């Protein structure tokens, strides 16, 4: 009890209020450093396969010899279909599947995003496992075109060959579905949506034949043309939509089969050269985080992951001496492993950061860094709340001239000592919450506007939309601060409360987001971190001595608001696309496609979490210009 | 005043009808959320019962429907909500507006600040009934509840009505409203002691001589028993047997359906060995009920506060709570605006509630959809949610007691509390 009351008494201590900015800064610093030490050997671990049933690489693979001739023949068949209309292509691919005595079906899909019309056709075939009861299935995918838009000649041919080859084995205890999707993102999405009956029937055809619950999916991306191309490494792509990841066991199995059994080197996150140095580990991890944070589909496998189907894409890269048969054997061995599964992959991690093909950190190790960043906002918010309950600062008695009125004093006695304390420092004043609540609510509501505009504008108008949003975003805090100063000048308390509530919400959103998409939460937290340290600059109190900040109040406000404007979401997006040499329109078109097709919600976070927080902070600072 | 009220109600109705019509998939989405729809209040289960009822099968046969039988003829009058949802949506909007109206009547009687036996020193610090009505109607939890259409919205309406009628001293309507609320949800019958005291106090203020307490109690208890008896008998007539008792109140008492919800019971009872089940059911129920006597006696002079606090306790400790119960309590709290300056953890408690109302769905998603979390994630968050609500309950109790101390011993006003 005594402890509790002494803790409560601490609230009145003036030093406590000075602490939070340092505490916030410490949180951010520790959060960033935490991330930077993760690639060290002491903090990351070697990957390992948890699920005993997988037994990666324990079977002999027989995909060799005469299968190679069949593969080459199919590759020419595929090459002959390149310029054919979609219907004819599907017909021909279906015929090849049928000739291997598989059940075949097609699916037409059509999506509309940014005024574009995305339509194509999926072909798929089901191999009924000789030992299976049609309750479980695994999927082998080859998209007709890969993420770069190239025709996936050898990948499609490999799937056709493997379908013929797998059909002859009697050991499958799960059904195997072979899917040739029309493209790499929308096609698999339409198919997997329809497989789970969650498609919109108006534009997407339902699936006419189905199998059991999908246990895993592997996509092959091998765009070598009809005369083949020997590759150097396998690039394992594992990011799902919205930053969800497949079970680490699937990734580990793929890597251990490819590198251990077949001797093919594995790489990830486009790190073509990786000699396991600290810098390269860190770079791989950061690339992984950015990809996860953006949450975009990174391959045909991405659409499966939201349905809790673990999936990876195997992509061939470089010039080397591995041929299509070693890729085929890798897939064969991988399917033999998946075939062993007794239950859904659940043993290993779902949240991890990879820094090399066989090195990772798990959520327990890395989550604190994003949480610390999110907590810094909450700390500042609590500090501002306490501050808003205090009355105006009491001037230092030494600096008051004798003319100025004496503040009310209260006699305080404690442990026999008597002192005079200004009354105002003892009372908690009522907080006027209406304007701050309405303002913060309104800021989040305005965020809906760009969200709606960017998701529903035609492609040709997107540059205009982006530029006008940029201008609007930069001018809006100025206009708002000006309008507020005209109609209802916020008191210092209300300004503090606006910032307090806005940071409280930001901290809340980011900590909730950290559990779903760590990287996005971390990145936005870093970009928003200055919002913890800005303070409104109020006109000086009548009898306080003037300091540097109060005399150059307007100049200071202007400088801070310009600095803050450089960190606004629109500017950051523009700068990021410039840095990576992307076209802003392409990014926006992708994002709109993501919204309408893949169920991407990164833009919700940007416009309804980050943007309103930045706006509120900016208005708080800009208000100094008009006070 | 009347104009403001019309504007408020019009705006609230517009928001609800707009949400219903602009997002046609929203009602079904929210109706499926475990935070809003519990096994005993869910609109989807009501539809199931309704289907069986209109096809002349006993609605309780499927083992899905656990709600009061008299709801069935009411909802069977409305057109099928899958094709013509407007009538149902309109009904729920009206239910919210009537609830707000009752809440505003409670506010206007000023029973929260100046009951018969107690004059708070801060009695001038209160919000207008419009502000209190708005805090109920525009609470996001209320709106979400209305859109999800659980039958707990009706229970809330009858609890508000019972409070309003008790604080106006209208005995008959008070007893009727309380009997309806208890008939629908069972636990509101525990509100009888404080509300009876409230009704008694108001009647004593209004008439010159206070009525005899024993006769007053006997008459009201008898009235309540009669009203409940009639409702139960009608239900038995309607369904043709008394089996509905086991399917409705039996389920609430014995917790056979362990669907997750925001409360504390389901997780305990999924983990529990069967041999301990009866014992812990007894303990859990005894715990809920024990608050009634203690609070009513200790805070005899502020009966409305006791009733409001009990709704908060139900929102935390009852077997199938949802955010509909929380919204009932949170909308009663603004009646006690005069206690706010004495409360110490408002920021902590409201931040906790805010954080959990976002983390809860996130963790539920991780558990059920992403498959990367487990039941402990969601349960941990419901624990924190309950903690937030119980901090408000505890803090407001502290404030009410402190308020009483301030009246009794004015010399202690503004001093730090310590044990004497």
- Cα–Cα distance measured from residue A615 to residue A606, given in angstroms and rounded to the nearest whole number: 12
Query: Same domain, yes or no, for A199 and A295?
Result: yes
Q: Do A504 and B351 touch (CB under 8 A)?
A: yes
Give yes or no for B25 touching A (CB within 8 A): no
Find, among A316, A311, A303, the residue nearest to A187 by Cα: A303
Query: Same domain, yes or no, for A176 and A98?
Result: yes
What's the confidence (pLDDT) of residue A424? 55
Tell me the pLDDT band of A18, cut-offs 50, 70 and 90: confident
Which residue among A336, A357, A378 closes a domain?
Answer: A357
Query: Same domain, yes or no, for A148 and A26?
Result: no
Query: Same domain, yes or no, for A153 and A252?
Result: yes
What's the confidence (pLDDT) of residue A538? 73
Spell out which residues of chain A touch residue B371, defining contact as CB-CB under 8 Å: 308, 344, 346, 350
Is B400 strand, coil or helix?
helix
Query: Same domain, yes or no, for A33 and A58?
Result: no
ipTM: 0.85
Contact residues for A178 (Cβ-Cβ < 8 A; gap 6+): A97, A102, A124, A125, A126, A127, A139, A140, A159, A160, A162, A163
Nearest-5° angle of CA B333, CA B338, CA B343?
A: 70
How many Å lie between the alpha carbon of B381 and the closest alpha carbon of chain A?
11
Tell me the pLDDT band of A404, cut-offs 50, 70 and 90: very low
How many other C-beta atoms can be found within 10 angstroms of the C-beta atom of residue B113? 24
How many Å lie between the alpha carbon of A246 and the closest alpha carbon of chain B?
10
Report if residue A403 sits inside a domain.
no
Task: Give yes or no for residue A258 having a pLDDT over 80.
Answer: yes
**Among the partner residues B347, B370, B418, nearest to A244 by beta-carbon distance:** B370
Give yes or no for B420 touching A (CB within 8 A): no
Report if residue A397 sits inside a domain.
no
Task: Give yes or no for residue A132 having a pLDDT over 70.
Answer: yes
Report if residue A140 sits inside a domain.
yes
Report if residue A299 sits inside a domain.
yes
Task: Give yes or no for residue A405 having a pLDDT over 90.
Answer: no
Domain count, chain A: 2
Query: Same domain, yes or no, for A265 and A231?
Result: yes
Query: How many beta-carbon pairs under 8 angstroms link A with B?
Result: 48
- Cα–Cα distance measured from residue A212 to residue A217, given in angstroms and rounded to the nearest whole number: 13
What's the confidence (pLDDT) of residue B161? 96
Task: Give yes or no for residue A423 having a pLDDT over 80.
Answer: no
Mean of per-residue pLDDT scores for chain B: 92
Rounded mean pLDDT of A470-481?
Answer: 92
Give yes or no for B127 touching A (CB within 8 A): no
Provide the 8-state DSSP code for A207: P
Spell out which residues of chain A touch residue B365, defining contact as CB-CB under 8 Å: 516
Query: Same domain, yes or no, for A337 and A377?
Result: no
Spell out which residues of chain A touch residue B347, defining contact as CB-CB under 8 Å: 382, 385
Q: Do B363 and A515 touch (CB under 8 A)?
A: yes
Chain B, nearest residue to A241 by Cα: B370
**Among the partner residues B358, B371, B418, nearest to A509 by beta-carbon distance:** B358
Give yes or no for B24 touching A (CB within 8 A): no
Mean of per-residue pLDDT scores for chain A: 89
Q: What is the reported pTM?
A: 0.88
What's the confidence (pLDDT) of residue B294? 94
Which residue among A357, A379, A413 closes a domain?
Answer: A357
Chain A, nearest residue to B368 by Cα: A308
How many Å lie between the alpha carbon of B8 and the closest alpha carbon of chain A?
16
**Among the partner residues A1, A385, A509, nearest to B347 by beta-carbon distance:** A385
Report if residue A8 sits inside a domain.
no
Q: Do B362 and A350 touch (CB under 8 A)?
A: no
Query: Same domain, yes or no, for A296 and A379?
Result: no
CATH of the domain at A94: 3.40.630.10
State how far the alpha carbon of B168 is from the alpha carbons of B103, B108, B165, B201, B338, in Å: 12, 10, 5, 10, 21
Task: Give yes or no for residue A554 having a pLDDT over 90.
Answer: no
Give yes or no for A350 touching B (CB within 8 A): yes
Query: Same domain, yes or no, for A290 and A386?
Result: no
* pLDDT above 70 as % of chain A: 89
Report if residue A396 sits inside a domain.
no
- Cα–Cα distance measured from residue A142 to residue A72, given in angstroms and rounded to the nearest whole number: 16
What's the confidence (pLDDT) of residue A536? 83
Report if residue A1 sits inside a domain.
no
Give yes or no for A430 touching B (CB within 8 A): yes
Task: Give yes or no for residue A3 having a pLDDT over 80.
Answer: no
Is A439:A483 a contact under the CB 8 Å cutoff? no
Q: Which domain holds residue A250?
A: 52-357
More confident residue, A433 or B172: B172
Chain A, nearest residue to B341 by Cα: A430
Q: Do B419 and A1 touch (CB under 8 A)?
A: yes
> What are the residue ranges in chain B where pLDDT is below 70?
418-420
What's the confidence (pLDDT) of residue A541? 61
More confident residue, A494 or A394: A494
- Cα–Cα distance measured from residue A410 to residue A12, given in angstroms and rounded to the nearest whole number: 15
Which residue among A302, A333, A357 closes a domain?
Answer: A357
Give yes or no for B73 touching A (CB within 8 A): no
Query: Same domain, yes or no, for A35 and A68?
Result: no
Burial status of residue B136 (CB atoms within 10 A of its CB: 0-12, 13-18, 19 or more): buried
Query: Same domain, yes or no, for A230 and A324?
Result: yes
Task: Give yes or no for residue A345 having a pLDDT over 80.
Answer: yes
Query: Same domain, yes or no, for A212 and A128?
Result: yes
What's the confidence (pLDDT) of residue A15? 75
Is B251 strand, coil or helix?
helix
pLDDT in tens, A63-73: 988 999 999 99
What's the confidence (pLDDT) of residue A114? 86
Spell out which residues of chain B touch residue A344, defining contact as CB-CB under 8 Å: 371
Strand pairing partners for A110?
A119
Report if residue A46 sits inside a domain.
no
- Cα–Cα distance measured from residue A555 to residue A560, given in angstroms and rounded to the nearest whole number: 9
How many Å lie between the alpha carbon of A245 and the closest alpha carbon of chain B?
10
Give yes or no for B375 touching A (CB within 8 A): no
Tell me the pLDDT band of A542, cut-offs 50, 70 and 90: low
């Amino acid at each position: 009890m005594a402890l509790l009351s002494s803790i409560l008494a601490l609230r009145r201590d003036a030093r406590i209020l000075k602490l939070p900015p340092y505490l916030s800064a410490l949180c951010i610093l520790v959060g960033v450093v935490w991330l930077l030490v993760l690639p060290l050997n002491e903090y990351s671990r070697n990957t390992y396969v948890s699920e005993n049933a997988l037994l990666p690489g324990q079977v002999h693979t027989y995909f060799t010899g005469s299968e190679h001739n069949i593969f080459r023949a199919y590759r020419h068949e595929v090459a002959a279909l390149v310029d054919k209309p979609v219907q004819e292509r599907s017909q021909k691919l279906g015929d090849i599947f049928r000739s291997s005595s598989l059940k075949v079906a097609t699916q037409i899909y059509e999506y509309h995003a940014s005024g574009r019309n995305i339509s194509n056709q999926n072909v798929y075939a089901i191999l009924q496992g000789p030992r299976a009861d049609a309750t479980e299935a695994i999927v082998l995918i080859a998209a007709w075109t890969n993420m770069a838009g190239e025709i996936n000649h050898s990948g499609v041919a490999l799937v056709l060959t493997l379908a013929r080859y797998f059909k002859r084995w009697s050991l499958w205890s799960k059904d195997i579905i072979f899917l040739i999707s029309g493209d790499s993102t929308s096609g698999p999405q339409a198919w997997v949506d329809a497989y789970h009956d969650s498609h919109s029937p108006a534009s997407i055809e339902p699936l006419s034949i189905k199998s059991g619950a999908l246990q895993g999916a592997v996509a092959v991306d091998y765009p070598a043309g009809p005369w083949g191309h020997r590759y150097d490494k396998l690039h394992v792509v594992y990011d799902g939509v919205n930053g969800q990841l497949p079970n680490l066991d699937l990734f580990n199995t793929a890597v251990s089969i490819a590198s251990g059994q077949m001797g093919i080197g594995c790489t990830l996150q486009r790190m073509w050269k990786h000699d396991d140095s600290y810098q390269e580990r860190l770079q791989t991890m950061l690339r992984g985080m950015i990809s996860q944070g953006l949450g975009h589909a990174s391959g045909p496998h991405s659409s499966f992951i939201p349905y809790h189907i673990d999936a990876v894409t195997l992509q061939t890269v470089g010039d080397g001496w591995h041929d299509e048969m070693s890729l085929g054997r890798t897939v064969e061995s991988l399917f033999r492993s998946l075939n062993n599964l007794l239950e859904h992959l659940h043993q290993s991690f779902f949240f991890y950061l990879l820094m090399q093909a066989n090195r990772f950190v798990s959520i327990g190790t890395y989550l604190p860094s994003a949480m610390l960043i999110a907590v810094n906002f909450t700390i500042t918010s609590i500090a501002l709340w306490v501050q808003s309950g205090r009355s105006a600062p009491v001037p230092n008695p030494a600096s008051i001239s004798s003319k100025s009125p004496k503040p009310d004093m209260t006699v305080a006695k404690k442990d026999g000592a008597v002192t005079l304390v200004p009354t105002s420092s003892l009372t908690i004043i009522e907080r006027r919450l209406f304007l701050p609540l309405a303002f913060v609510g309104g800021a989040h509501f305005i965020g809906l506007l760009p969200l709606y505009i960017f998701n529903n504008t035609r492609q040709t108008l997107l540059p205009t939309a982006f530029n006008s949003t940029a201008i609007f975003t930069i001018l809006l805090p100025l206009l708002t601060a000006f309008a507020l100063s005209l109609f209802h000048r916020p008191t210092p308390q209300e300004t503090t409360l606006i910032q307090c509530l806005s940071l409280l919400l930001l901290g809340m959103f980011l900590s909730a987001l950290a559990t779903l998409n760590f990287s996005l939460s971390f990145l936005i937290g870093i970009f928003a971190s200055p919002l913890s340290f800005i303070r409104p600059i109020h006109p000086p109190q009548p009898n306080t001595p003037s300091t540097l900040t109060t005399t150059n109040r307007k100049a200071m406000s202007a400088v801070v608001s310009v600095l803050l404007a450089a960190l606004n979401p629109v500017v950051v997006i523009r700068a990021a696309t410039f840095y990576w040499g992307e076209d802003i329109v392409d990014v926006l078109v992708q994002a709109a496609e993501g919204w309408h097709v893949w169920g991407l919600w990164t833009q919700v976070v940007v416009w309804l979490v980050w943007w309103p927080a930045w706006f509120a902070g900016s208005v708080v600072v800009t208000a100094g210009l008009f006070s | 005043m009347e104009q403001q009220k019309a504007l408020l109600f019009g705006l609230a109705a517009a928001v609800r009808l707009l949400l219903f019509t602009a997002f046609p998939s929203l009602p079904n989405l929210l109706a499926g959320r475990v935070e809003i729809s519990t096994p005993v209040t869910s609109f989807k289960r009501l539809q199931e019962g309704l289907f069986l009822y209109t096809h002349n099968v006993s609605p309780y046969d499927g083992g899905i429907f656990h709600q009061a039988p008299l709801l069935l003829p009411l909802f069977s009058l409305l057109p099928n909500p899958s094709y013509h949802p407007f009538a149902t949506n309109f009904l729920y909007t009206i239910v919210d507006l009537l609830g707000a109206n009752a809440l505003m009547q409670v506010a206007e009687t000023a029973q929260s600040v100046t009951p018969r036996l107690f004059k708070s020193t801060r009695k001038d610090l209160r919000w207008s009934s419009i502000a209190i009505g708005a805090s109920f109607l525009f609470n996001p939890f209320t709106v979400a509840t209305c859109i999800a259409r659980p039958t707990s919205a009706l229970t809330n309406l009858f609890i508000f009505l019972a409070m309003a009628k008790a604080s106006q001293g209208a005995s008959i309507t008070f007893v009727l409203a309380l009997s309806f609320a208890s008939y629908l949800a069972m636990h509101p019958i525990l509100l009888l002691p404080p509300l009876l005291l409230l009704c008694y106090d108001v009647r004593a203020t209004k008439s010159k001589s206070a009525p005899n307490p024993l006769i007053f109690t006997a008459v009201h208890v008898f009235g309540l028993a009669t009203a409940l008896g009639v409702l139960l008998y009608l239900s038995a007539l309607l369904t043709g047997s008394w089996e509905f008792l086991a399917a409705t109140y039996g389920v609430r008492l014995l917790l056979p359906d362990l669907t997750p919800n925001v409360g504390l019971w389901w997780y305990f009872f999924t983990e529990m060995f069967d041999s301990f089940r009866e014992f812990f059911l007894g303990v859990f129920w005894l715990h809920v009920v024990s608050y009634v006597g203690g609070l009513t006696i200790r805070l005899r002079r502020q009966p409305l506060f006791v009733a409001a606090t009990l709704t908060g306790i139900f929102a935390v400790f009852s077997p199938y709570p949802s955010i509909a119960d929380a919204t009932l309590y949170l909308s009663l709290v603004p009646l006690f605006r005069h206690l706010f300056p004495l409360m110490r953890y408002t920021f902590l408690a409201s931040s906790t509630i805010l954080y959990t109302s976002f983390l809860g769905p996130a963790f539920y998603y991780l558990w059920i959809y992403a498959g990367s979390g487990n039941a402990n994630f969601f349960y941990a968050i419901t624990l924190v949610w309950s903690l937030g609500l119980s901090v408000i309950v505890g803090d407001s109790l502290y404030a009410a007691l402190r308020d009483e101390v301030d009246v009794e011993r004015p010399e202690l006003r503004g001093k730090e509390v310590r044990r004497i």
